[in-house]
Structure formats: C-alpha cells, structure tokens
Structure 1
Amino acid sequence: MIKKAEAEVFKRISFGVIAAVFLILSVAGLGFAQEATPGQGLEISPPLVELNTDPGKTVSFEIRLRNITQGTLIAKSDVDDFVAQGEEGQPKLLTEANAEPSPYSIKGWARAIPEVRLVSQEVKATTITLDVPADASPGGHYGVVRYTAAPPELEGTGVALSASIGSLVLIKVSGDVKESAKFEEFFTTQSGKRKSFFEYGPITFVERVKNEGNVHFKPIGTVRITNMFGKEAGVLTINEKGGNVLPASIRKFEQTLNSKWMFGRYNAEANIQYAGKNISGSLSFWVIPYKLIAVVLGGLIALFLAIRWFLRKYVQRAISKASSTPKKPKKK
C-alpha cells in the first residue's frame, strides 16, 4: 500500500512538472511568435488617411485588414483622438486611460464600425464613415481607428491577442483656417551632439519647425551648403518621408551631409515651403581636420630637422676630412 501511494504521489509530481515545463515553453513560444510577426496578428492599410471636408458633411474611407496568423481572428475597432508627442512625429493616443480634452477631436464623429471575422491570411475591407458636425471648428482634426484581435474562443473575455494597430486620420475642415509656421531653430550636430566646429564629416543638419496655426501642414524644402569660395558643397532634401506638423507642436527634421573630408568655413541655407508660403534659416560652421594637420605638420617638422641634422653632419664630416688631410709641400 505504501509503495502504491508513493507511486501515485510520484506520478502526480511528474505530471505537474511536465505541465509546468509545457506551460513555460508555450508562453516563451508565444512571445517569440509575437515579436517575429509584424502587426502581431493583424496588418492594416493605409497607415495614414488624409481628408478635406466641410462642416456638416459626411466623409468615408476604406481600411483593409489582413490576418497574418495561422488561425481565425475577430477584429474589433475603437476610434480615439491623438495629439503630437515629442518632435519625432510620434502620436500620443488619448484613450480612456489617459483621457485629455482635445480641441481637434473626431472621437464622436464615427458611425458604428462592425467587427471583422478573418480566417488565416484573409484580407477584408471595412468602410469607415464620419459625420462632421455642422459646428465643427475650422482647421485640423485628428484621430485613429484602432483594431484589436482575438480568436473566437476568447471573444467576450476582454483578452486580446496583442496590442492594437490602427490608421491615423488627419482631417482638414474648411472655414477660417490659419496656416502659420515658424523656424524655431536651425543647427548642426554630429553623433547626436550639437556643435558648429567639426574635425571631419559627416554632418547632420536639424530644422525645428513650429506650427502656429490651427491645421496640419506637410513642409518640403532643401538645405544648400556652400564652401568659403561660394562653391556648392551639397544640397539636401527636407522631409523626404512627407511627415506632417500638427497644430501647437514642433516637428524636427534631419538630413546628413555624408562628405567626410572638408576644410574651411561653410554656409548653409534652409528653405521650406508649406501651404504656398516660405520660411528660411541660415547658419555657418567650420570644418578643420586639426589632428590630420598636426600629424602632417609634425611630419614636415621632423623631416626638416632630419635633413638639417644630416646636412650639419655632412658639413662637419667634410670639414673634418679636409682638416685631417696632410698638406703637400710646395715645390721650390
């Protein structure tokens, strides 16, 4: 009986250990799959929607979802507002957890969005409809249509397969729209450090553009660099990716001049166009490869001293040889 009881206990312990190991491996495998899969279950397109409309109008657009998992998913949506966060163009979602009043809200404009059922690798399109209020303020309004996904067996449990993904929505409502921008700063950096004196390239140019209006805009422009003789050393494109600057925010743009060997004083002029208007900024910087110059000068000085030493030795040897040679007696 004792041996039978011990065997039963051992069996239970063994089963528990195996179950624990299986659970650990399952969680680890799930984490790996999520990290390795873009969108963590869903793909969405387009990532950005830009619309122009009038107060009191209805606008619609299409969002496409793709299930990139091996099973069936139920995708549910939410519409939230967002504002600019930092200067890199990152959005900050204003969800219920961090709710803040936004003067650019679209949260209450969306009609009910049906859930989407997707089998593995299936793509479906959903039409999103927004009713713009008749008293909507002119200018920009911003939101995001977010989707979270879960397998059918988890539907209603509040458990999602992964973090949500979404399409950002930028709307321009007609009326008394104010479009105004300011060059907040224009400077140069290297390896993340702000400076105007460099030993060598590459050199990064940074423009901080402030939106002082009530609507987003997409700046474009160039940075033109000339050397101390007025010759063009490079032309760089500002905002190649087509990023927007939201109202009451600053957006930072960066471009890199990849020339390594430069010398002297340089001038740079940045010209930016937006909404048919222009802003500009200028700066100067120096590039002096002082370490290389020091090495070259040191080498030249060493060569000069060596030549001087050898010449001195040669002269001394010649004089010594001449003085040690016996003079022949003069013939009478």
Structure 2
Amino acid sequence: MWNVNRRSYEVCLYALVLGVAYYHCTSCGAVVSIGVAPPIVELTVPAGGAHVVDLNVYNQGDSPLILRGYVTGLELSRDGAPIPLETGDGDWSCADWIRLDKKEFELQAGEEELVHATLRVPRGSTGGRYAVIFFEGTPVLKNPSPWDVVLATRVGCIVMETIPRTLVRDGEILKMEVSKSEGEVVFTVDFSNKGNVHMKANGCVLIADSEGRIVDRVPLDVVTGTVLPGGIREFEGTWSNRRKMKTGEYTGEVRIAYGGHRGVLRMVTFRLEGE
C-alpha cells in the first residue's frame, strides 16, 4: 500500500501470519516479531448471548512497537488457506459483533499486553460466523526521516462462532475430474458447503475394475478439510500404484464425509492403456 505526500514516502507491507510474524527492518535496524495467543478461538455462543475472549499480544523483537487492533471478515481459499476480508462484510462474518477494549497501544521489547475481545451475538442470528482479530505492529523510530521506509506486519486470531440449535449441515460434490500423466491418475474433486456452518470434510476414491472388484483406495489429500458456509474446497488424490494399474476400464467412486455425516458420493469412469 502506497501513501505519498510532500514530506514522507512510506511503504507498508502487510503479511498475514496467523499466530506469529517476524521481519527485520533494514531502514531502522529493528527486529520486529509479534505474536498473539491463542491463534484460533472456537466459540458456541447462543443468539442474544455474549462472550469475552482474552488475547495475549506480545512483542518478541528488540524494538518498541505501536500496535493497532481491528477486526475483519474471513474466507477460505479453495485449498483451505485463510483469506481475510479488508472489511467486516460477508454473509458469514461476525466482525461487526466483536469489540476490542484496546485498539491502539505501545509495547516495549519483550512485553506483552492482555486484550479483551467481546463477542455479542444479535438475537435471531443463525449458523456459523467467522472473523479475524488482527494486531498490526510498526516499529517506533527514534530519529525518523521523511524518506524512511516503514514496514508494518500483522498477526491474527481466527474466530469461529457457532450458534447452537440453529445449524444446518449439508454438502455437495460439484464436480469430479480425472487426468492421466506419466503413469499416474489424478482425481480432482470440488466439494461445496451448502449448509450454514463450517464443516471438516475428508474423503477417498475407491477404484474398481470392470467387474466391480475394488482394486485400490486413494485418499484425498487435505490438511484440515475445513469448509466455510458457501465455500468450495478442492480435494486431490493421486493413484500411482503401478502394480495394480493394468490396462482396462475402471470406475472411481469418491466418498466425502463431513460433520459426522456419512457423506456424499460421485462416480467417474476412465480407461488405462498400456500401464
């Protein structure tokens, strides 16, 4: 982000690293290392209720820092990486429900600060809601120059709120594709969360020959498997067992389970030649 005026030339570099962030500021010589604990908070607060979360923000660097706290919405990428929204917007955001008792404060090197984050759930709210509480730190310059390059970094705590007795869990496999390359068969599956609360999904592909016999089982690679409401998660699995890969027709049956449910199924056929 560029902020240019007649007296200063400032570059702010933002990096989302949940839990801890570190960099070395070459212009001022400061080692900036900030952290927040816990990095993830999972809550179950009913509609009309409130809950206070204690967050410990600490300066592990060697220079004083100015810390600024704020809250944004949250999405997840197709591979499950957190994507903070730059506002509190979003159909499934609870950013506007969270208030911090400290929004700006200074931390000396080695110090930590306790920040209270209060979540108030409006009456009539349903499902799951999500946000990131950020703390953004910039070093305190002793002898600032108009041409200093000032770097800011931020750490975040993910908030995952579930409103009890209002939850709908539903998922759907949108598509399943098969590709073959250099003796491997790659299964790519798009799974959509059709419910109103996050879920943790996992799955596999059962491979059967033309006579219906199961010849192999391929797990779908996933780290956490978390899918937010309205989100789409891409799963991938690779079949590379050459001993079982004979020429012929095959059927791949993908099975994805989520939230205690037995899950959803989809099938695809493919042929191997000269394996």
* Both proteins in one fold, TM over 0.5: yes
Counterpart of 1:246, as a letter, is L
- Give deviations 1:186-231, integer Å, cap 9, x for gaps: 2223xxxxxxxx3643332211111222222111232222445655
Instruction: Report deviation, 1:272.
Output: 1.5
Instruction: Report deviation, 1:143.
Output: 0.9
Q: Residues 263-278 of structure 1: matches in 2 within 5 Å? A: 263-264=246-247, 265-277=249-261, 278=263
Q: 1:222 maps to which residue?
A: 204
On the 8 A contact 1:227/1:266 being kept in 2, the answer is yes
Query: Would you say 1:289 and 2:253 are equivalent positions?
Result: no
In structure 2, which of residues 162, 169, 175 is the aligned counterpart of residue 172 of structure 1? 162
In structure 1, which of residues 144, 151, 161 is the aligned counterpart of residue 132 of structure 2? 144
CA distance in 1, matches of 2:66, 2:216: 52
The TM-score normalised by the length of structure 2 is 0.72
Q: Residues 107-256 of structure 1: matches in 2 within 5 Å? A: 107-114=95-102, 115=104, 117-120=106-109, 126-135=115-124, 137-153=125-141, 161-189=151-179, 198=180, 200-228=182-210, 232-238=214-220, 240-256=222-238
CA distance in 1, matches of 2:55, 2:252: 43
Query: Would you say 1:53 and 2:45 are equivalent positions?
Result: yes
On the 8 A contact 2:43/2:162 being kept in 1, the answer is yes
Q: 1:80 maps to which residue?
A: 72
Structure showing the higher helix proportion among its residues: 1
Instruction: Report deviation, 1:258.
Output: 3.5
Cα 1:161–1:225 shift into 2, 3 Å: same
Aligned residues: 240
On the 8 A contact 1:200/1:289 being kept in 2, the answer is no
Q: 1:280 maps to which residue?
A: 265
Q: 2:86 maps to which residue?
A: 95
On the 8 A contact 1:263/1:286 being kept in 2, the answer is no
Instruction: Report deviation, 1:127.
Output: 4.2
On the 8 A contact 2:92/2:229 being kept in 1, the answer is no
On the 8 A contact 1:49/1:170 being kept in 2, the answer is yes
CA distance in 1, matches of 2:274, 2:54: 55
CA distance in 1, matches of 2:118, 2:150: 25
The TM-score normalised by the length of structure 1 is 0.61
Structure showing the higher strand proportion among its residues: 2
Q: Which moved more, 1:159-168 or 1:251-260?
A: 159-168
Instruction: Report deviation, 1:138.
Output: 0.6
Gaps of 5+ in 1: 1-31, 190-197, 291-332
Percent identity among equivalent residues? 26
Larger Rg: 1
Cα 1:268–1:124 shift into 2, 3 Å: farther
In structure 2, which of residues 63, 71, 89 is the aligned counterpart of residue 71 of structure 1? 63
Instruction: Report deviation, 1:160.
Output: 6.3
- Give deviations 1:233-269, integer Å, cap 9, x for gaps: 4333336412321222211111223335632233222
CA distance in 1, matches of 2:39, 2:206: 32
Instruction: Report deviation, 1:40.
Output: 6.5
Gaps of 5+ in 2: 1-22, 143-148
Q: 1:317 maps to which residue?
A: none
RCO higher in structure (CA 8 A, sep ≥6):
2
- Give deviations 1:104-131, integer Å, cap 9, x for gaps: 2312222324246544455665443312
On the 8 A contact 2:25/2:151 being kept in 1, the answer is no
